[in-house]
Structure 1
Amino acid sequence: MTETPKTELRKGWTTGACATAATKAALQQLWGGAFPKEVQITLPRGETPSFPLAWSQAGEGWAEVGITKDAGDDPDVTHGALMIARVRASNGGVIFKAGEGVGTVTKEGLPIPVGEPSINPVPRQMMTQVVEEQAEAFGQPADVEITVSIPDGAEIAKKTWNPRLGIEGGLSILGTTGIVRPFSCAAWIASIHRGIDVARADGLTHVAGCTGATSERIVQCLHGLPDHAMLDMGDFLGGMLKYMSKHPVERLTIGGGIGKITKAAQGAIDLHSSRSQVDFKALAALADMPKVAEANTALEASKIAPQLPELVATKASQEIRARFGGAMQNLDIVVIDRSGEILARAEG
């Protein structure tokens, strides 16, 4: 059983907020001649956090500042990474460039065009606003080139969805509020949505969502799917299905272990162990074998009733189709054990 934290979890700041703060501090040196000790910015919802400078440097016609990302109590892979913004004069408004460790968009379907640095719209708006404010304060034209860099960003990006989404060379500068909420599911679900967008934009007719690495490997091999057809569903079945019901792809495969697929068969759309449980009495009724109700796990239940994987796969397919309608008619359920063996399939 998951314990409730005794104290409030500490929030953190997005890569977009850190890059914005770095941009503001660098502009103050470029136009004012001195770096501040710390810099305050205004986030989209009105919060005004301050950031200490972790790195500062200037040269002829340019200045750069680094801000260390603090993700609070969220297990964010970018926690502790240095977000560096270098600013220099440009000839046409605010121009964004990807420095070391910041990715470049190579596939359609993302909110940023192909060929552009992977700096999302809200961080771009935040940095542009900072440029305009500082330009007015120092009597300068708001024509600035901003190059954002993240040392080790390319290596950190391997732990994210960026390679699969067609973002090459590093991390993305993200955030819609500027705030990282501890243990929020929003970022994961947003990545699933972007994966669907990329697949649709690339004309893919078949995508797959799996609960873990083993099931993903087996499903990808089974259907010969490219990497960007594999959606990082994890436990967020509902987050994937709700979005796909409005942004359909012709065929969907869902792969997972007997426990997770059993939950889906019983109507759960959040498959995390703390938010849904297997109903063993219902499983016994499905198998028409009362002894199944005594099982401790779905895997144990399937050993008592070997027909269960097929029954669960079929029931999960029926449950999802009934709940999410016509967009899920071409649905394929694959039940996989821990060794990677396919236990059952229900093909639409």
Structure 2
Amino acid sequence: MEEYVYIDGKKYRRGYTTGSCATAASKAATYMLLTKKKIKTINIDTPKGIPLTLDVQNISLNNDYVECSIKKDGGDDIDATHTMDIYAKAEIIDRENGEDIIVCGGYGIGVVTKKGLSVEVGKAAINPTPMKMINYEIRKVIGEDISATLGEGKSLKITISAPKGEEIAKKTFNPRLGIIGGISIIGTTGIVEPMSDEGWKKSLSIELKMKKEQGLDKIILVPGNHGEQFIREKLNLDMKYVVRTSNFIGYMLKEAQRMGYKKILMAGHIGKFIKLSAGIFNTHSKVADARSEILISNLALMKAPYDLLEKINECLTAEEAVEVINENNYTEFYDKVSNKCRYKVKQYLGDDDTEVEVIMFSMDKTLLGKSDNTDSLVEVFR
């Protein structure tokens, strides 16, 4: 495995997905079921083209079935499933529905309960790519003539499980996506790329897609927890409309536009949205951090005195700046900046068909400002 990648000049270790773990465990369990011999490692190919050799653990070798596990390794990526054990149980059963290989979810693997995902409602959350990987690697072991290997009228049943899956799933996006009871077996390449923004963005976009397929034509975008709490506690709106953008505001706006959402309400903390007002659509501090400069320039345009601008320049956080602005009675600043956010978003989307309004709040969930037509759009979501 090409073990390391370099990002911004730093060395990071790659990992492998839950899909690769489930595939390796399935292949190892199948091999040991047929040979009745324990093995220490197993080789698999990944869609990325990087082969893996993984350690086989927790082997239970029986006459009727074999179960084993592979330990998930997320590399240097921030991953809730890192170090958890993904199990596969292989057994030979009477053929059902004409299927040679049956792959199902066991304990700790989530079940899909809402439309819009790549797995049907009611099925185990084992995504299409891992499902293909499992079938491909198992057929290397059992061959194409299933009857010759397993016996006439027999099928191979694989059950994927994760003993800590239900607990770990609470730290993932699964509850938001309507996947209950455990983790998902995922991965489109088999390899975890450390610090991968692309993987994160795709997981956020899935929720947008799911809500669209459920029939929603309007959406509320918030950066994270604080935005959700503001929508729920201060506006009392239905949370089914709310989707997180994290720092990827521009990406999620374009995704919402692509999917056909025509009404977008945005609610965010001033620390994020002050950047948005200047056309910064990825609000991570490593990408752009010009909060002080944007605050100062907007206050200067309002003819704020120089000593006020100096105080703002000394503020370490947007929250500190809010206190200074409020103490000096420049609160109309917030509506002006909210309207600038709206203008930049409309400019970014490049159309007049999508209705967008913006709300800005402080850390204690106090409403600071809003764009001109926010109140009428808010009512649409009630």
Q: What's the TM-score once normalised by structure 1's chain length?
A: 0.92
The partner residue of 2:52 within 46, 49, 52 is 49
Gapped regions of structure 1 (runs ≥ 5): none
Which residue matches 1:231?
Answer: 243
Q: Tell me which residue corresponds to 2:36.
A: 33
2:286 corresponds to: 274
**1 CA distance for matches of 2:288 and 2:297?**
19
Alignment pair present for 1:164 and 2:176? yes
Identity of aligned residues (%): 31
Cα distance, 1:7 vs structure 2: 5.3
Residues 1-348 of structure 1: matches in 2 within 5 Å?
Answer: 8-90=11-93, 91=95, 92-136=99-143, 140=149, 143-221=155-233, 222-226=235-239, 228-278=240-290, 280-287=292-299, 288=301, 289=303, 291=306, 293-294=309-310, 295=312, 296=315, 297-302=317-322, 303-304=324-325, 305-326=330-351, 329-346=354-371, 347=374
> In the alignment, what sits opposite 2:3?
none
Q: Quote how far apart the aligned CAs of 1:29 are.
A: 0.7
The code of the aligned residue for 1:224 comes to L
| CA spacing shift, 1:310–1:116, aligned 2, 3 Å | same
CA shift in 2, pair 1:244/1:66, >3 Å: same
Rounded to whole Å, the distance in 1 between the matches of 2:363 and 2:68 is: 47
Q: Tell whether the 8 Å contact from 1:96 to 1:117 is kept in structure 2 after alignment.
A: no
Whole-Å separation in 1 of the counterparts to 2:133 and 2:352: 37
Unpaired segments ≥5 residues, structure 2: 1-6, 378-382
Encode CA deviations 1:216-247: one digit per residue, 9 max, x unaligned.
Answer: 11113415223x43222111112211211211
Once residues 183 and 135 of structure 1 are traced to their aligned partners in structure 2, the CA distance between those partners, rounded to angstroms, is: 37
Q: In the TM superposition, what is the alpha-carbon distance from 1:185 to its structure 2 partner?
A: 1.5
Deviation at 1:75? 1.5
User: Secondary structure at 1:333's aligned position in 2?
Assistant: strand
Q: Match of 2:210, SS? A: helix
Aligned residue pairs, count: 344
Query: More displaced, 257-266 or 52-61?
Result: 52-61
Does the CA contact (< 8 Å) of 2:29 and 2:66 recur in 1? yes
Distance apart, 1:28 and its partner CA: 0.6
Q: Which of structures 1 and 2 has the bigger CA Rg?
A: 2
CA distance in 2, matches of 1:65, 1:328: 55
Q: Give, in whole Å, the separation in 1 of the partners of 2:244 and 2:264.
A: 13
Which digits, 9 at most, give the CA deviation of each residue in 1:78-135, with x for residues without a partner?
0010000112235213222111111011111001111111011110110010121111
Higher mean Cα deviation, 171-180 or 186-195?
Answer: 186-195
Tell me: CA distance 1:283–1:51, structure 2 relative to 1, closer, same or farther (3 Å). Answer: same
Q: C-alpha distance in 2, partners of 1:191/1:278?
A: 28
